[in-house]
Chains A and B, each alone.
Chain A
Amino acid sequence: MSDLLPQDQRAAFRAKAAAIDHPHELIVDALRAVQSHHGWVPDAGVALVAELLGVLAVEVEEVATFYDKIFRRPVGKKVIHVCDSICCWAGGGEAIAAHLQQTLGIGFGETTSDGMFTLLPTCCLGACGDAPAMMVGLTTHGRLTPESIDRILAQYRAEAAG
């Protein structure tokens, strides 16, 4: 359990929850904190959030399972969200998604064998002027081409290795 969230952050959430009238409002923040530290939110993470905030685990779970950017299953070091909404579609997004699948050797919902990337489709990223677009972690990349994708993926791999 110790790698779910550092002790100082646990203490901060406990203190904040005790100081406010509606501790539930911290559920999304706490889930995001666990995910940021641990990579994804296992059952133990749901239990931890419930315990820190003094709410029921089921109340945390019903929130966690609603949002597509809370991962309740293991993911790679970097999650790639590739937009499949209308502007990216009009800008050739289907070919971009196909290139990502081919070059990573995985389908949607899968993780590369080296544990580096998980590939997921997403709705509009708010990068419609820079279609086609994808988000890696919290960073948006637009005006994608097969070449720029290869370059971007190589950079993330190099950063992870270095």
Chain B
Amino acid sequence: MNDYPQVLFAGRRPGTTNFLAGYEAGGGYRGLRKALTMSPAGIRELVKAAGLRGRGGAGFPTGVKWSFFPEAPGEKYLLANGDEMEPGTYKDRQLLLADPHQLVEGMAIAAFAMQIPHGYVFLRYAYEECARNVERAIAEAEEKGYLGRNILGSGFSFELHVHRSAGRYILGEETALINGLEGRRPNPRSKPPFPAQAGLFGKPTNVNNIETYCNVPHILVNGADWYQGLSRTPEGAGTMLVGLSGHLHRTEVFELPMGIPLREVIEQVGGGVRGGRRFKACLPGGASTPFLTASQLDTPLDHVHLEQAGSRLGTAGVTVFDDTTCMVAATLNLARFFARESCGWCTPCRDGLQVVVWLLEEIEAGRGHAELLAMLRDQVRNIRGRSFCALAEGAMGPVGALLDRFGDELEDHIARGRCPLKR
């Protein structure tokens, strides 16, 4: 199990946090030193060639995002999205508990690559220990000349701050996060303008997930070919942090090669389904990704193959359900999460998700009938593509998969007038 190449977790020791000395001893800040000898455009090209894709859920190619960014000097912002509130996702927390300097270095390189003078690390309320770790790492990096004015004598300056949030899933949406940082009510903004054009305080802003930035120093040191080669599949690149949860023997975050088959993750890395039960379904990449079933266990975990399988890699948080799980009840739990976390800005999300919750409650309670099932299908159709941001779209992921892949179980609830799996 420890045979998988470790990159982001290479310096990780359970129960301890590496600060400057430990991080440098493990090769830390070599990526930044290398970056400062390159041109900003050269770094963007390298990250593009490496094939790094965003680890926050959407999976957008990072180097492509950076290449759209205006390089001309001026007030610009670099943000790390550490809202990490997608159920089943707890990888960024492990990164910041293990090696907070890895984020600082990755952000410093990204800032240089886009010539950005100001940065913020946005952290959710529950991650106070992470916030303290990052603050200490920033202070140490400033002291050592890795941050602040004239970094390592390069003439480039970048200052970094920590923002502690106060709850709510929607802040993980990048424009809501920007409003949150500004101290405005954090509803999402309309796009365009995209943050790269007008983001924080109306200035060009780049937002990436914490794990995404943490990959960057390693790409600088080892190159694009090495990074591509870490993946088991040519469609993927690099490693990824896979957070295991649900009914598995081992529920921890593991660093695994991109493209590893789901079966290997569940049976070998996760130790299989616990309690002698059988695998029924999983969310392969967080609460907003469509369920996969036992017949899909050979799917390689990368963006392309999961999309072909009708799901998404999302945040690579794999939540497994055993064969005693009612998929209607599981979907109801997910729908309640999204309904409660809706910011209320647009009607399909604010009202539509409540209706979905009510329909699933009726069916789970044994009060379902054919008309309610038809209404559920209608709701999914009406919400998809019509919400202001991705929250309601994501919420429809598991609901759509319930309809498509567990239709028998829904019908069974209706035919029997009760949940067939209720203990």
Which B108-139 residues have a C-beta within 8 angstroms of A?
124-128
Check: B251 CB closer than 8 A to any chain A CB. yes
> Contact flags (1/0) for B149-186 with A, using CB distance below 8 Å?
00000000000000111111100000000001111111
Which residues from A are CB-within-8-Å of B317? 128
A123 touches B87 (CB 8 A): yes
Given contacts A24-B183, A26-B183, A67-B166, A126 and B247 within 8 Å (CB-CB): no
Residue of B nearest to A128 (CB): B245
Interface: B413 (CB within 8 A) = no
Are B319 and A87 in contact, with the CB atoms below 8 A? yes
Within 8 A of B (CB), among A89-129: 89-91, 122-129
Q: Give complex CA distance A32, B128 in Å.
A: 12
> What band does the interface of chain A fall in when counting residues whose beta carbon is under 8 Å from B?
35 or more
A21-B201, A31-B166 given; A127·B183 CB < 8 A = no
Instruction: Note all chain B residues with C-beta closer than 8 A to A59.
Output: 183
Which of A24, A86, A89, A124 is the one whose CB lies under 8 Å from B85? Answer: A124
Count of chain B residues with Cβ under 8 Å from any Cβ of A?
51
Which residues of the partner chain A approach B185 to less than 8 Å between Cβ atoms?
A: 62-63, 66
Asked if residues B87 and A85 are in contact (CB atoms below 8 Å), the reply is yes
Please report the C-alpha to C-alpha distance between residue A152 and residue B118 in the assembled complex, in whole angstroms. 42
B253 touches A129 (CB 8 A): yes
User: How distant is the Cα of A128 from the Cα of B245 in the complex, in angstroms?
Assistant: 6
* Contact flags B287-330 to A (C-beta < 8 A → 1, else 0): 10000000000000000000000000000010101000100001
Chain A residues near B251: list those with CB within 8 A.
Answer: 87, 128-131
Looking at B226-234, B333-341, B386-394, the stretch in contact with chain A turns out to be B333-341
Q: Across the interface, do B182 and A140 meet the contact criterion of CB distance under 8 Å?
A: no
CA distance in complex: A124, B287 (Å)? 10
Once the chains bind, are A90 and B246 in contact (CB under 8 Å)?
Answer: yes
Interface status of A144 (Cβ within 8 A of chain B): no
Structural contact, B125 and A86, CB atoms closer than 8 A: no
A51 at the interface (CB under 8 A from B): no
CB-based contact A126/B90 at 8 Å: yes
B93 within 8 A of A: yes
Q: Would you call B245 and A28 a contact (CB within 8 A)?
A: no
Given contact pairs A22-B182, A86-B319, A135-B126, A128 touches B85 in the complex (Cβ within 8 A): no
In the complex the two chains form, what is the Cα distance from A85 to B169 in whole Å? 12
Contact present for A25 and B183 (CB under 8 Å): yes
CA distance A62 to B311 in the complex (A): 36
Contact A124 B165 (CB under 8 A): no
Asked if A70 is at the interface (CB within 8 A of a chain B CB), the reply is yes
> A28-B164, A70-B166, A123-B341 in contact; A89/B126 too (CB < 8 A)?
no
Whether A66 contacts B186 by the Cβ 8 Å rule is yes
Quick check: is B397 within 8 A (CB to CB) of the other chain?
Answer: no
Question: Which chain A positions have C-beta within 8 A of B334?
Answer: 86
CB neighbours of B287 from chain A (8 A): 85-86, 124
Among candidates A21, A62, A89, A138, residue contacting B333 with C-beta atoms closer than 8 Å:
A89
One digit per residue, 1 when the CB lies within 8 angstroms of any chain A CB and 0 when it does not, for chain B 237-278 equals: 000000111110001110000000000000000000000000
A32 with B164: CB separation less than 8 A: yes
- Are B168's CB and A68's CB within 8 A? yes
- Can you list 30 residue pairs at the A/B interface with Cβ under 8 Å? A22-B201, A28-B165, A28-B166, A63-B184, A63-B185, A67-B125, A84-B337, A85-B333, A85-B337, A86-B287, A86-B333, A87-B245, A87-B251, A87-B319, A90-B321, A123-B341, A124-B287, A126-B84, A126-B85, A126-B89, A126-B126, A126-B127, A128-B87, A128-B245, A128-B251, A128-B319, A129-B243, A129-B244, A129-B245, A129-B251
Given contacts A28-B180, A66-B168, A127-B90, 18 further A-B contacts (CB under 8 A): A22-B183, A25-B181, A27-B183, A63-B183, A63-B185, A67-B166, A68-B168, A70-B166, A70-B167, A85-B337, A87-B87, A87-B88, A90-B247, A90-B321, A90-B330, A123-B337, A126-B84, A128-B87
Closest 5 pairs (CB-CB, A-B): A24-B183, A69-B167, A67-B166, A27-B183, A85-B87
